Structure 1
Amino acid sequence: MSNKQLLLIDDDTELTELLSQYLAPQGYELDIAHDGEAGIAQATSGKHYDLILLDVMLPKLDGFEVLKKLRVTHLTPILMLTAKGDDLDKILGLEMGADDYLAKPFNHRELSARIKALVRRMSLLPATSVQQNLKLDDVELSPASQQVFCNGNLLELTGTEYSILHLLMLNHGNLVSKEEISEKVLGRKLAPFDRSIDMHVSNLRKKLAEFNSSEKIKTHRGAGYLYLVEA
């Protein structure tokens, strides 16, 4: 099995060297860029990356600018590295299309677990190609192409948004807890005060609402989410 390809965009040279040494024995090949412009150039060079690790504080272009530019053309999973306790950075990153976030300073084992979960989720997606399209009212999801259409219009979803919607549609009419979504989509247990699932669902609602005004995803406060189908 070939090594997984990662791109780390971070200007902390000591940290990038440590992560290179730590991740290599785990089967990851790590390319490094030390500023936002170099990160975009590397990410769009034509090389396939299984995951991008993106720091918020970068020279030339900050992490949010890099994320915004990459999301125009790339659906590669992006794990944002944010300042510890800076909830605004976390929320903004998720709103702009990041798949997950991790606050600095972080435990290397926690980083490894996050990387493994996101990479594993993406590696399993081709296996869904044998599944039939899932159509509920005016929303149609294609596991083969990993695309979603609403009223015939293609939705520009991130990998995480697609996976959440797929899970909710498969369980339509039944409540799906945030804990289940976190474990099945992000590959980790839901931490206290973690708003990542809420932000991803909020993004989904906005994108669905562009082409249909009816409520598709209902929130049960403190419990989870319910995908609604017309009677």
Structure 2
Amino acid sequence: MTNARKKTILAVDDDQKTRQLLKQYLEKQQYVVQLAHDGESFRAEFERYRDDLSLVILDVMLPDTDGFALCRMVRERSEVPIIMLTASSDDTERIVGLELGADDYIGKPYNPRELLARIKAIHRRSNPGDGNARRYMRFAGFCLDRLERTLKDANGEIVALTGMDFDLLRIFAEHAGEILDRSRLMEQTRGRDLGPADRSLDVQVSRLRQRLADDGKQPVLIKTVRNSGYVFSVEVVASHE
């Protein structure tokens, strides 16, 4: 396999040993890994490889900045998937990261196999789906393109979505009118169980509502079903054209 076929990951961590171990492990899994040791070097490497990146890994704690600032910077320039690494057990850091546009998070210290599983799950979700499925899904003036993984509004303008935003919206659209419980949504979007105090899915839904200009207090598109989950409550029309 040539490097041209490999997915390229950019990771930033201020610990040299951690960086090298991560690089060695992921390269054995056939990824190309670029490294940065602080915010300044990350920004330089991101601009250098931006068009080739399939994923970014951000450590929250860095000597000259933090992962949140870098997450914000990346989201201003790209929709590349982001995984954040946090040593804190406080859910606040994780929620802030998700609100800024991160696609997933993992606690430090982490098992490399778990990180690899998260990376593979994100890459799987980023690939086009079943070729026999209808490409376009239209609802409330929006058009979701499952092949190009884009969403356009009534004016034909592209709505900025992260990979996780897109996956969550696609699931809602494919199951319009169904009550989807939070555990099912967590499993389908992140590939893991929902913890008893895990608010990350609710943060994701809130962020998606903002993208769709769906009033969080009186939502029209994504409604909360008390003690059950969520329901996409508008009609969806799927077509090949």
CA–CA distance in structure 2, aligned partners of residues 177 and 43 of structure 1: 37
SS in 2 for 1:45: helix
In 1, Cα distance between the equivalents of 2:174 and 2:129?
18
Corresponding residue number in structure 2 for 1:44: 47
**Which consecutive residues of structure 1, in runs of 5 or more, have no partner in the other structure?**
none
C-alpha displacement of 1:218? 0.8
Contact 2:83–2:103 at 8 Å: present in 1 too? yes
Decide whether the 8 Å contact of 2:214 with 2:220 is kept in 1.
no
- Give the corresponding residue for 1:228: 233
Q: Which runs of 4+ in 1 moved over 6 A?
A: none
Aligned length: 229
Write the deviation string for residues 48-97 of structure 1: whole angstroms up to 9, x where unpaired.
11111100111223111111111012111100001231211101000000
| Cα RMSD (Å) | 2.3
Superposition TM-score, scaled by structure 1 size: 0.89
* Residues 170-179 or 21-30, more deviating: 21-30
Of the three residues 130, 143, 161, the one matched with 1:157 is 161
Q: Which amino acid aligns with 2:223?
A: K
**Cα shift readout 1:175-210 (whole Å, capped 9, x = no counterpart):** 122222222222223333222211111001112127
Distance 1:221 1:82, change over 3 A: farther
Deviation readout 1:28-65 (Å, 9 max, x if unpaired) = 22111001121122122145111111001112231111
TM-score, scaled relative to structure 2: 0.86
Identify the residue that residue 79 of structure 1 maps to in structure 2. 83
Q: Show CA shifts across 1:104-143 (max 9, x none).
A: 1112221121111112222x23766973311112222122
* 2:107 paired residue number: 103
Alignment of 1:1-231 (within 5 A): 2-46=5-49, 47-122=51-126, 124-125=127-128, 131-152=134-155, 153-209=157-213, 215-229=220-234
Q: State the secondary structure of the residue aligned to 2:14.
A: coil
> Conserved in 2, the CA contact under 8 Å of 1:129 and 1:145?
no
Point out where structure 2 has 5 or more consecutive residues left out of the alignment.
236-241
**Range 127-136 or range 60-69, more displaced:** 127-136
